[in-house]
Every structure is written in C-alpha cells, then in structure tokens.
Chains A and B, each alone.
Chain A
Amino acid sequence: MKKNGWMFFLQGFLLFNVLWFFASIFVHSLALPSPLEVYANFPKVFEAGIAMHFLVSFKRLMAGIIISLVLGTIIGLIMGESQKTDKILNPLIYFTYPIPKLALLPVIMILFGLGDGSKVTLIVLITIFPVIVAVKDGVKNIDKELYNILQSLGANRMQKLTQITLPAITAEILTSVKISIGTALSVLFFAENYGTKFGLGYYIQDSWMRMDYISMFGGICILATLGFVLFAALDKTAAHFNRSN
C-alpha cells in the first residue's frame, strides 16, 4: 500500500459514492438517503457517541480475532506436526467447517450468556476454522531443507518453531483472517442486536427502529470503515511477511 495503494483506495471510494449517489436519486426513498446527506449528518452521529460504539465493537472483534489466532495456530501446528492428531481432527474440521455458526446462537447464548461472551465466541467460531486450515497446510508446505539446516546447527524445537515454522506461515495466517473479516463483522452486527446497548450493530439497528435512516447510514459507514481498516491492515501486514515469496 504505497502511493498506488492510496490511489487504488481512492478510486474505489469515489466510484462507490458515485454509484450510491445515483442509486439514491433513482430509488428515491427515505431508506436510501444520498451520501451527501449522510456525510453532512456526521457531526450529529459523533455527538450521539459513535466513537464509543466503535470502540466497543472493535474490542469485541479484536478479542475474537486474537483468540482465533492463538487457538487456531496452536491447533493447526499440532495437526501439522502429528499425523495422528491430523487423522482424528481433520474429518471433524471438514465436517464442522460448513456448518453455519450463526445457527448455533441459541446454544452459545445459553452457554456463554447474553453479554460479550457469546458475541466473542461467535466471532471465534467463524474465524478459527480458516486459521486452523491455513496453519495446517502452511506447515506441510514448508521446505524441509530449511529444517535440515537448523538441525545441522543443533537447534532445539523452540528455535525451529520461532525461526522457521512461525515466520513461514505468518502471511498465510493473516490472509486467512483477512478473508473472514467480512463474515465476522456481519455476525458481530447481528450479535449486537441482543443483550447490549453498545456497539455499532446496536447503534445501526437502534437508528433503524427510530426510522432515523440518515444516522443509520452514518453507523453503516463507520462499521464499513472498521471492516476496511482491519482488512487493509491485515493485507498490509501479510504483504510485509510475504514480500519474499
């Protein structure tokens, strides 16, 4: 994301707003206000405390992603290292991956409560599978000669893990999280529908109920920004680790 990256972003942003603008004229409904109205309303949105809603959502999302990263990496490493564990767990992963995790919400709610517990758990369930698969496959694709070099130098297991395994798969892990960010955000939006008075999901749905569509779109813009920033950050970090391949 150097100069070209910003141009790329700007191009997408402008095109999107132009399309939005014409769509609002064409649809001509209160439900689709023009972007100009929405942006003009931003001060009011900030007055209503959108920053706090943003922070709460951000916190929930980050907690989910970090737990997924740590747990998913550990599970993936174990599966990549030990064929026995892989044989046992792989069918389970294959079977549970496509199950829509959102459908488990009632169970999760009962087990983890109505608070942040169930919301974060949902995000973890959504994002952990791609991480496990990325780590597992990543480990198998590492060039064995790299380990041979460390072996001949008398390296211990920890050194092999920190010098070879982890750096070799970091880019793949980040990419897998990046891909599931969108889903994680939609699930968060849904999960902020219950048991909370904070979060962007709550803000958007509350504005909707009050038929304050312009503020609702303000919230949507902020939610989109959160998704975009995380996506771009992960993309950039992944590219940093991947610059060599």
Chain B
Amino acid sequence: MISIKNLTVNYNTKQEMNTLEKVNFVVEKGEIVAVIGASGCGKSTLLKAIGGIILDYRGEIEIDGLPLDTKKNLIGYIPQGYGLLPWKTVMENCLLPLKIRKIGLKTKNKFISIRRVADEKTKSLIKGLLNELEIGNLSKRYPVTLSGGQRQRVALVRALCFSPQILLMDEPFSALDAIMRDEAAEIFLKVWKQNRCSTILVTHSIDEAIYIGKKIVIMGNSPGRIKRIIENPLYGDEDYKERDNYKEVYHLIKEEIREVETR
C-alpha cells in the first residue's frame, strides 16, 4: 500500500519547475492507480517523490505503513524514455536492480576473479519474463539495436524482475504508436497480474487510464494538485470501449482535464 498525505513539493531547478500542493491519495495493495493530467501538472514530480528521487518535500509518503526508504523498500521505476543503460545488454540491464540491492545473486569464482552473477532462480525468472514478453531472443542485444516497443518491454522486465513492492511508471506507452500502445498495455496487465504490486501509472492518455487504472487520479496545474479521484468501473476490461458507460467516463475525465487547462 502506498499512502500519500499532504505531499507538497517546491523543488525548482533551472531547467524545470516541480510543484505539488497538498496531494493526498492511497494506492491499495495490489491496485493500479492511473494519474492523468495536462502536461506540467506535476505528474512526473509526484512519481519522482514517491520513487525517492526528489527528496525535498513536505508531507508524508508511506509504503505499507512505514515512511518511504529507498534502501529498504523495493521500488520499480520506469522513467520516460525507459532509462536503459546503453552500454549494458538487455540481460545486464535486467540484472541491474539485483546487483544494486544484492539480491538473487550468487558468487561465481572464475579462477581468481570473483564475480557475482544471477542465481538460477533469478535467471529463470528473468528469462521467463523476457519470453513472456516475446523478447527472450534479444537478451544479448544492446538497447540501441531495439525498437521502441522492445525497449519498453525490457524496461518492464527490469522493473518487475526483483519483485518490487511498488511499481512507478512514467508514461511508459506514450512513445509507442497507437496499435502497439494497446497491445503493450494488454501485455503489461498480463504480466503485472502475476505479482500484483501496488502500481502508479502516469499517463496523458484517457483510454490508457480507463483500461489500466482501478482508480483514476485527475491532476490540475499551477500548483500541481489533485482535482478529482474516480473509481473506474471499466478497469481491466479488454472491451472497455464497447461498454455503455465508456463515453460517460471518458467525457467525465476529459471535462475535468479541460477545466483545468482553461482555468
């Protein structure tokens, strides 16, 4: 469970403004919350605060009832652009969280040098995930040789392979073209269901929010704050677009966002 109480961020650098004012919401265990809003409303800032990247905030961020601690909590974070290390292969990229946290590894004594490599269980877990996402044959490739959709899947495996408590995704599907986006969202849900970690998805696509978010948090800007939280009746429904209330939900969200923009 992630609970956010009165989160206020006033962290401005030369390049970007990051402001949030008194943000409150809860992500229940095993639930996906979609955060949607116009650009510049602080969606990414919110995610970075929960991910322990922005440390300069007021208010509380609690994971399973305890204050956020990146050294104790296991957080899977997928930034915009996926953040794959270009000098590491797909497999090496996936092993990065395990190496940082020193979990799922065994010591391999290769003559004199002692290297730490993934143990059998981890290796098969990663291979399984890669195969499931149909990129099992790419494990020795470098990110630059992959398509956008493949990179997105690698980032997903990397964020899930150490069984994180929470998963944070910053517009993971927005760089993909329309057809691949639907497929990617579908595959994501399939893989996510295997361990159902509490997840926050930041998006600017209303459809994505309706399909993936159990709750939809609508944010407004200057300063970034929550406008409305809706319980999504269409969550996880593959044919959500054909349901009677789809239009109703869609317009509800759209109106809220538009109101924010014209304010």
Q: For window 114-168 of chain A, which residues contact chain B by CB distance below 8 Å?
A: 143, 145-146, 148-155, 159, 163-164, 167-168
Q: Mark B79-111, 1 if CB is under 8 A from A, else 0.
A: 111010111100000001101110000000000
Check B100 against A159 for contact (C-beta < 8 Å). Answer: yes
Q: Which of A151, A241, A245 contacts B53 (CB 8 A)?
A: A151
B52 at interface by CB-CB < 8 Å = yes
| B76 nearest in chain A by CB position | A152
B217 at interface by CB-CB < 8 Å = no
B195 at interface by CB-CB < 8 Å = no
Interface size on B, residues (CB 8 A): 28
- Asked, given contacts A244-B142, A244-B144, whether A152 binds B70 with beta carbons under 8 Å apart, the answer is yes
Hey, which chain A residues are within 8 Å of B51, CB to CB?
148, 151-152
Check A168 against B87 for contact (C-beta < 8 Å). Answer: yes
A3 at interface by CB-CB < 8 Å = no
Hey, which chain A residues are within 8 Å of B79, CB to CB?
145, 148-149
A175 to chain B, nearest CB (A): 15
Check A153 against B101 for contact (C-beta < 8 Å). Answer: yes
| A143 nearest in chain B by CB position | B83
Q: Which of A146, A154, A163, A245 contacts B52 (CB 8 A)?
A: A154
Q: How many A-B residue pairs have CB under 8 A?
A: 69
B66 to chain A, nearest CB (A): 14
A11 to chain B, nearest CB (A): 29
Q: How far is the CA of A244 from the CA of B87 in the complex (A)?
A: 5
Q: How far is the CA of A200 from the CA of B142 in the complex (A)?
A: 42
Q: How far is the CA of A164 from the CA of B142 in the complex (A)?
A: 16
Would you give 18 A-B contacts (Cβ < 8 Å), ordered by A? Answer: A145-B79, A145-B81, A146-B85, A148-B53, A148-B77, A148-B83, A149-B79, A150-B100, A152-B52, A153-B97, A154-B69, A159-B100, A163-B99, A163-B100, A167-B87, A243-B87, A244-B87, A245-B144
Hey, which chain A residues are within 8 Å of B48, CB to CB?
148
